[in-house]
Amino acid sequence: MNRNPVFEKEIKRNTRSIRISWIVFGCNLLLGGIALICFFGESSVLGYMTPTSYTIPMRCYMLMAYLLFFLLLMAVPVIAGASISLEREKRTLDLLLTTHLNPWRIITGKLEASLSIIFVIAFSALPALSLIMVFGGVGLADLLILVLILLVSGVFIGSIGICCSVFFRKTTVATLMSYVIVLLFVVGTIGVVGLDYYLQVLRGQGTGLIENPDVGAAIYLFLMNPFLTFFGLLSQQIGSGRELILLCNLFGDYEGDWLVQNMIPVSVAVQLLLSVLFLVLAGKKLNPMKK
């Protein structure tokens, strides 16, 4: 098996780092604390479980899932944003480029190393998340799909971080730009669609025409938003499954739109394609001689 030496080096360094161990421990301690509070908070006060108490595990699952996604948003840009720029600051990047490794293997090795941390955190959190299975409503397949979507989001955000790490020489600048671009995808896409809708409302008031504003194809910007993909997944697991469609319908009538009706799988495909694009750009920038 042809292993990636960059990935192996990063894995060895991460396993020897006490910082990674503390991150995993802190994450699971926080998730375990949330689980205990949600499960035993009301029953410890009343002394028994009421019928409404069985909605608490679902809220607990939702809170822990969003916490994991928030940790991913915070951690991946820092890890991936420093992957190449830190090598440049240590003056080891030129040595790395003189080896038999091509830039693509260097970049994918760095991305795999960044994702391995998220993989460890996500799978170590499964015992806390699996407490929900005792009460029903969420099965093992749902937990595995949750981890899969977290990994897809990690690939997308990690590719942005690596691209910034290649294009910007300083680690602080690369990390900052990683956060900025991620925010553009998470918040900016919603802001652009909301602004388009607002301008159409103003245009309708100015012309005196009373009609339902429709942002049209602008709604497809949501396909690039990893948070909305995660939101849609949770709505299918513990909600009615129509929350994401109802959100889109606030900006127009999309009941018969195939892309909106299948937004989760389509958005996963779009984000993976964008990830490949970011990695290709990083590879070309890292090696202008097309080694």
Q: Which of 39-48, 92-101, 109-118 has the highest mean pLDDT?
A: 109-118
Whole-model pTM? 0.86
Tokens of 10: 């990063």
Q: Between the CA of residue 75 and those of 27, 118, 169, what are the distances in Å?
A: 12, 8, 20
Across 166-182, average pLDDT: 91
Domain boundaries, the chain: 5-286
Helix (H) or strand (E) holding 37: helix 18-46
Across 110-127, average pLDDT: 81
Across 130-158, average pLDDT: 82
217 with 260: CB under 8 angstroms? Answer: no
274: pLDDT strictly greater than 70: yes
DSSP-derived letter for residue 20 is H
DSSP-derived letter for residue 291 is -
Q: What is the pLDDT of residue 39?
A: 66
Q: Residues 224, 113, 122, CA angle at the centre, nearest 5°?
A: 65
Q: What is the pLDDT of residue 136?
A: 63
Torsion of CA 227, 7, 82, 13, to 10 degrees: 110
- What is the average pLDDT value for the chain, to the nearest integer? 82
- pLDDT of 34-53, one tens digit each? 777 766 655 555 555 555 55
CA-wise closest residue to 98 among 114, 87, 111 = 87
291: pLDDT strictly greater than 50: no
257: pLDDT strictly greater than 90: no
- pLDDT of 192-248, one tens digit each? 999 988 888 887 776 666 567 788 888 999 999 999 999 999 988 887 778 888 888
148 with 230: CB under 8 angstroms? Answer: no
Residue 260, CB half-sphere, CA atoms under 13 Å: how many? Answer: 21
DSSP-derived letter for residue 100 is S
Across 6-23, average pLDDT: 76
249: pLDDT strictly greater than 70: yes
Q: Residues 129, 131, 133, CA angle at the centre, nearest 5°?
A: 95
